[in-house]
Amino acid sequence: MLTLLLVLNLLLDEGNSPFPMTAVPQADPQPAPVADDPHPIGTVQREEFYILQSEAPLLVVASPPGLVEITHEQGPLMARGRFAGGDGKTETRMLLGNHLYFIDALKSGTVELIVIPVGATEAEQIQRQLVEVQAGPRPPPQPDTDTDTDTDTDTDTDTEPKPDGIPVDDTGGFRVLLLLDETADPDTLTAVDSLQTVKWLDANTDDWRRWDRSTAETDGELDKEEPVWRRIWQAARPALPEGPQLLIIQGKTITVRPLTSQVVQELEVSR
């Protein structure tokens, strides 16, 4: 089985690289003239882990800026998701480096990652890697099927709240509620709990929550929650479809969407 050699490059001594590496195939039974050496992975896609690992702290710079987001975390730690250079399936890996640098795809393009050891004094200590960022097209906005072009249409049909536009008392800002239940598939759970989703919510919302639906629907469980979230729940609950749901609250309107593994893309479009 091909395995991604992420954990083999933890030291930034001369000759070693912090970049995630490609797998090396098992030797062919027939002699090969030249064996392929592992080389840094050159592509990162949205909702994939592309991780630089190092025992010593690094300064990681992206050029041009804006194509990726770089986040430093202390290791070792365990991560579950899809990894750059992997087979596209969700997996769990132990990241052994003391310093972990998560590279998240924001926009498609080619970015150069420049890695400088903290305290470096020689140009030879600087490492560079070109990475193709494949952020993918954002889903198109939902068409406005509620536009009434016939002035003679009976307006009584609009008296009930639409499931994607539930009115609520002004909540004062942009809020998100991730509502999960036992039917959520593994990919959705992974996406909801991923570092990328948490970082997006922390950076772009006024407040957000992740609730278990059965808990929220139990009387008294939300008594200690902030009043604004209790109002949101009271307004939305009667109109919520079955299954995991994404509630996007903007001022006086609650928008409801199915909660899927594409949660970040859906949020970016709705924002």
Give the model's pLDDT for residue 79: 86
Give the model's pLDDT for residue 50: 92
- Domain residues of the chain, as ranges? 6-24+38-134, 162-270
Show the low-confidence residues of the chain (pLDDT under 50): 1-14, 27, 32-36, 138-139, 141, 146-164
| Contact assessment for residue 270 and residue 255, using Cβ atoms and an 8 Å cutoff | yes
Closest Cα to residue 207, out of 250, 264, 156? 250
The domain 6-24+38-134: what is its CATH number? 2.60.40
pTM for the predicted model, two decimal places = 0.44
Give the model's pLDDT for residue 85: 83
Element (H, E) at 114: strand 109-117
Give the model's pLDDT for residue 150: 45
162-270 maps to CATH 3.40.30: yes
For residue range 237-268, list pLDDT tens digits in order.
Answer: 999 999 999 999 998 999 999 999 888 888 88
CA 269 to CA 263: how far, in whole Å? 10
| Contact assessment for residue 104 and residue 199, using Cβ atoms and an 8 Å cutoff | yes
Give the model's pLDDT for residue 8: 35
**Which amino acid, 55?**
E
Give the model's pLDDT for residue 108: 87
Give the model's pLDDT for residue 180: 93
Give the model's pLDDT for residue 165: 81
Tokens of 43: 């592509």
Of the chain, the end-to-end C-alpha distance in Å amounts to 41
Q: In 10 A of CB 7, how many CB atoms?
A: 17
Q: Is the dihedral of CA 221, 227, 233, 234 positive or negative?
A: positive
CA 197 to CA 183: how far, in whole Å? 20
